[in-house]
């Protein structure tokens, strides 16, 4: 498929080579002018070369254009504007043919190969199995899921992973909390530990266990009971989390258990490795890692005074395990409370000899749930939280995914529950889905009128401004995908969907697709099919329904 950007870059590079004998390693910036009357593409090379060539930008641009060959004859018009922008307008013929190419690519349209099959992993959500999932988890789930899809679209071999912290202190606390509630239900006076889990879900867990297993744990010693109940409660919570992710259309490749790492003593091995590298020392009865040697603000404890491995040590082992499984790039999406944790993890990655940039963390910022204009606060410990399930049930999965993806991931997000529920034009999800339904309906209507949609059509009749605008907008799609993947910005896809929907609605309002003009009808049906295809491709990527009717 001949991409306009690729072609123009190549032609410009050739012109530069013949005109100024410049090496071809120069990166040619090609952008889409903000304003349509400047043409389809613009380059700033002349501005950039002014210094090295010791010449005025406009003069450089002129010389360049004299040597611009346009081998394939795609360019209709070139111009030099402003301080030295070179603008290119492609022939309508090019765009008309491009529409057919988009259709022939089908669901592969938008995909590319620049990832080169590199193995990439995104770890996201990884919520503690000691409580219900909250809305930040819902946001992380949507974002992580779409990131992986984006990576795969552009040629990476990307996997989804969920890390389950099913070991350590938090789990012991859960056990003690469930145990207390269990005994309370049986009429005993066993208080929930002060730093334990206070949420109502703990009572629900205890009641469930009581219903299923009876009071058989009451006779056990407290410690033993807590341990047993921790095990049972944990299994229940994990199943809940897995069910929630599935319902949310997120398919993880791996659910990784911290307890497996501990069982295999992976953390001890890492400790040995760090010791051998001379990166540890003892102080105050604890074992420390010299993370400050690698950019962290201070050193960190690996083994506590009590001889317990810290979460950090086990986490280092976990990340090392990712590398050993062959991943070349590792992305972690963490919650806003893990901000201060990045530097030490990055230090550990480097200490183990991995490239610094092979490990990247993105903080999924806080979500403010607004109801009636008021922020609903949440705190897992107190149990006063908004659960992910509640949100999904209330606003629906399509709206939830769209809203969470719509914003840059490292910025706090205001989620207006009332808006997400509205089935009106205020709600962007419906705007986009409506465009798809409308497009589907046109095809349906054509068939009902006895119009046979031919495989081939003479698209050269598509000369109206609105028609070409739609094709040009469709043509932007692969670039949107590439950039969304490159910059980890899935919100580019939702923005694009809204633009494409608007461009199509605008065309639709002005021109009739199915008419007495047989040739024009066929050509416009191709335009409609192209729009449907790209809307569907993008919505599929986001795992949002593309309805045939609403």
Partner RNA sequence: GCGCCAGUAGCUCAAUCGGAUAGAGCGUUGGCCUCCGGAGCCAAAGGUUGGGGGUUCGAUUCCCUCCUGGCGCACCA
| Ranges within 220-279 binding RNA (CB under 7 A) | none
Which listed residue (489, 523, 527, 529) binds RNA by CB under 7 A?
489
Q: How far is the CB of 113 from RNA (least distance, A)?
A: 18
**What are the two backbone dihedrals, phi and then psi, of residue 283, each rounded to the nearest 5 degrees?**
-155, 135
Q: How far is the CB of 392 from RNA (least distance, A)?
A: 19
- If the CB atoms of residues 213 and 414 are measured against RNA, the closer one turns out to be 414
Q: How far is the CB of 367 from RNA (least distance, A)?
A: 10
Task: Scan residues 432-471 and list those touching RNA (CB under 7 A).
Answer: 434, 437-438, 441-442, 444-446
Q: How far is the CB of 209 from RNA (least distance, A)?
A: 23
- If the CB atoms of residues 207 and 510 are measured against RNA, the closer one turns out to be 510
Q: How far apart are CA 216 and CA 359, in angstroms?
A: 48
189 contacts RNA (rule: CB under 7 A): no
Q: How far is the CB of 326 from RNA (least distance, A)?
A: 26
3-state SS track over 139-198: HHHHHHHHHHHHHHHCCCEEEEEEEECCCCHHHHHHHHHHHHHHHHHCCCCCCCCCCCCC
Q: How far is the CB of 211 from RNA (least distance, A)?
A: 29
DSSP output for 258-325: HHHHHHTTHHHHHHHHHHHTT-EEEETTEEEE-GGGGT-SS-EEEE-TTSPBPHHHHHHHHHHHHHHT
Site string for RNA, 344-373 (x = CB under 7 A): ----------------------x-------
- If the CB atoms of residues 46 and 330 are measured against RNA, the closer one turns out to be 46
If phi > 0 it is left, if psi is from -120 to 50 it is alpha, else beta; for residue 272 that is alpha
Chain centroid to CA 351:
29
- Stretch in the footprint of RNA (CB under 7 A) among 213-221, 248-256, 455-463, 495-503: 495-503
* Helix or strand (DSSP H, E) at 480: helix 465-486
Q: How far apart are CA 271 and CA 280, in angstroms?
A: 8
Task: Scan residues 58-87 and list those touching RNA (CB under 7 A).
Answer: 81-83, 85, 87
Tokens coding 482: 């590439």
# of chain residues touching RNA (CB under 7 A): 88
Task: Scan residues 5-34 and list those touching RNA (CB under 7 A).
Answer: 27, 29, 31-34
Which listed residue (107, 272, 414, 458) binds RNA by CB under 7 A?
414
Which listed residue (73, 191, 355, 412) binds RNA by CB under 7 A?
412
Burial 310-329 (b: 16+ CB within 10 A, else e): bebbbbbbbbbbbbeeebeb
Q: How far apart are CA 66 and CA 68, in angstroms?
A: 6
**What are the two backbone dihedrals, phi and then psi, of residue 34, each rounded to the nearest 5 degrees?**
-65, -40
- If the CB atoms of residues 106 and 509 are measured against RNA, the closer one turns out to be 509
Which listed residue (11, 96, 134, 165) binds RNA by CB under 7 A?
165
Q: How far apart are CA 98 and CA 470, in angstroms?
A: 12
Q: How far is the CB of 190 from RNA (least distance, A)?
A: 22
Tokens coding 470: 């739609």
Q: How far is the CB of 163 from RNA (least distance, A)?
A: 10
Which listed residue (13, 15, 16, 47) binds RNA by CB under 7 A?
47
Q: How far is the CB of 370 from RNA (least distance, A)?
A: 9
Q: How far is the CB of 465 from RNA (least distance, A)?
A: 11
Which listed residue (12, 50, 180, 392) binds RNA by CB under 7 A?
50
Who contacts 320 (Cβ-Cβ below 8 Å, separation ≥6)? Answer: 266, 270, 352
482 contacts RNA (rule: CB under 7 A): no
- If the CB atoms of residues 169 and 356 are measured against RNA, the closer one turns out to be 169
194 contacts RNA (rule: CB under 7 A): no
379 contacts RNA (rule: CB under 7 A): no
Q: How far is the CB of 237 from RNA (least distance, A)?
A: 13
> Residue written as tokens 């009106």?
424
Q: With H, G, I as helix, E, B as strand and everything else as coil, classify residue 548.
A: coil
Which listed residue (97, 505, 536, 540) binds RNA by CB under 7 A?
505
Q: How far apart are CA 95 and CA 79, in angstroms?
A: 19
Which listed residue (207, 216, 239, 339) binds RNA by CB under 7 A?
339
Torsional sign, CA 205, 210, 212, 216: positive
- If the CB atoms of residues 152 and 259 are measured against RNA, the closer one turns out to be 259
- Stretch in the footprint of RNA (CB under 7 A) among 60-68, 102-110, 321-329, 502-510: 502-510
114 contacts RNA (rule: CB under 7 A): no
102 contacts RNA (rule: CB under 7 A): no
Tokens coding 324: 């050993």
124 contacts RNA (rule: CB under 7 A): no
Q: How far is the CB of 164 from RNA (least distance, A)?
A: 10
For the beta carbon of residue 477, count every other beta carbon within 10 angstroms: 21
421 contacts RNA (rule: CB under 7 A): no
Q: With H, G, I as helix, E, B as strand and everything else as coil, classify residue 24.
A: coil
Tell me the CB-side half-sphere exposure of residue 356, using CA atoms within 13 A: 7
Across the strands, what pairs with 362? 333
Which listed residue (514, 523, 542, 546) binds RNA by CB under 7 A?
514
Q: How far apart are CA 92 and CA 70, in angstroms?
A: 15
Please, what is the angle between helix 397-405 and helix 388-395, to 10°?
Answer: 110
Which is it for strands 157-164 and 254-257: parallel, antiparallel or unpaired? Answer: parallel
């Amino acid at each position: 498929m001949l991409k306009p950007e690729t072609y123009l870059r190549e032609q410009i590079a050739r012109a530069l080579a013949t005109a100024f004998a410049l090496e071809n390693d120069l990166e040619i910036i090609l952008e889409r002018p903000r304003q349509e009357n400047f043409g389809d593409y613009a380059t700033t090379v002349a501005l950039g070369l002014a210094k090295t060539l010791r010449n005025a930008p406009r003069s450089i641009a002129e010389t360049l254009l004299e040597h611009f060959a346009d081998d394939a004859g795609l360019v209709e018009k070139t111009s030099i504007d402003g301080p030295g922008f070179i603008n290119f307008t492609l022939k309508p013929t090019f765009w008309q043919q491009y529409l057919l190419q988009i259709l022939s690519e089908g669901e592969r349209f938008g995909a590319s190969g620049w990832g080169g099959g590199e193995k990439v992993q995104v770890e996201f959500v990884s919520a503690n199995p000691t409580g219900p999932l909250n809305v930040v988890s819902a946001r992380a789930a949507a974002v992580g899921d779409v990131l992986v899809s984006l990576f795969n679209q552009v040629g990476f071999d990307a996997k989804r992973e969920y890390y389950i912290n099913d070991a350590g202190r938090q789990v012991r606390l859960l056990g003690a909390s469930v145990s207390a509630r269990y005994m309370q239900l049986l009429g005993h006076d066993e208080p929930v530990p002060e730093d334990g889990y206070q949420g109502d879900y703990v009572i629900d867990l205890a009641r469930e266990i009581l219903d299923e297993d009876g009071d058989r744990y009451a006779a056990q010693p407290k410690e033993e009971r807590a341990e047993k109940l921790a095990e049972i409660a944990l299994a229940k919570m994990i199943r809940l989390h897995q069910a929630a992710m599935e319902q949310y259309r997120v398919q993880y490749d791996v659910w990784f258990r911290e307890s497996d790492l501990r069982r295999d003593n992976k953390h001890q091995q890492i400790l040995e490795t760090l010791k051998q590298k001379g990166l540890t020392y003892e102080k105050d009865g604890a074992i420390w890692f010299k993370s400050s040697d690698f950019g962290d603000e201070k050193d960190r404890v690996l083994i506590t005074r009590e001889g317990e491995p810290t979460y950090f040590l086990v986490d280092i082992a976990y990340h090392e395990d990712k590398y050993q499984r062959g991943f070349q790039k590792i992305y972690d999406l963490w919650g806003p409370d893990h901000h201060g944790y990045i530097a030490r993890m990055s230090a550990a990655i480097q200490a183990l000899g991995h490239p610094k940039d092979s490990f990247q963390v993105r903080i999924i910022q806080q979500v403010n749930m607004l109801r009636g204009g008021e922020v609903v606060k949440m705190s897992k410990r107190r149990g006063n939280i908004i659960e992910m399930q509640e949100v999904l049930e209330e606003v629906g999965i399509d709206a939830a995914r769209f809203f969470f993806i719509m914003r840059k991931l490292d910025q706090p997000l205001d989620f207006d529950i009332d808006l997400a529920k509205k089935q009106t034009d205020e709600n962007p999800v419906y705007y986009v889905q409506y465009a798809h339904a409308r497009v589907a309906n046109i095809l349906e209507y054509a068939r009902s009128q006895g119009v046979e949609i031919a495989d081939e059509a003479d698209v050269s009749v598509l000369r109206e401004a609105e028609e070409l605008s739609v094709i040009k907008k469709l043509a932007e799609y692969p670039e949107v995908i590439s950039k969304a993947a490159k910059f980890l910005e899935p919100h580019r896809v939702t923005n694009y969907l809204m633009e494409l929907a608007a461009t199509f609605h605008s065309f639709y309002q002005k021109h009739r697709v199915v008419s007495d003009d047989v040739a024009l009808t066929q050509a416009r049906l191709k335009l409609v099919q192209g729009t449907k295809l790209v809307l569907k491709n993008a919505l599929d990527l986001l795992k949002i329904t593309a309805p045939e009717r609403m």
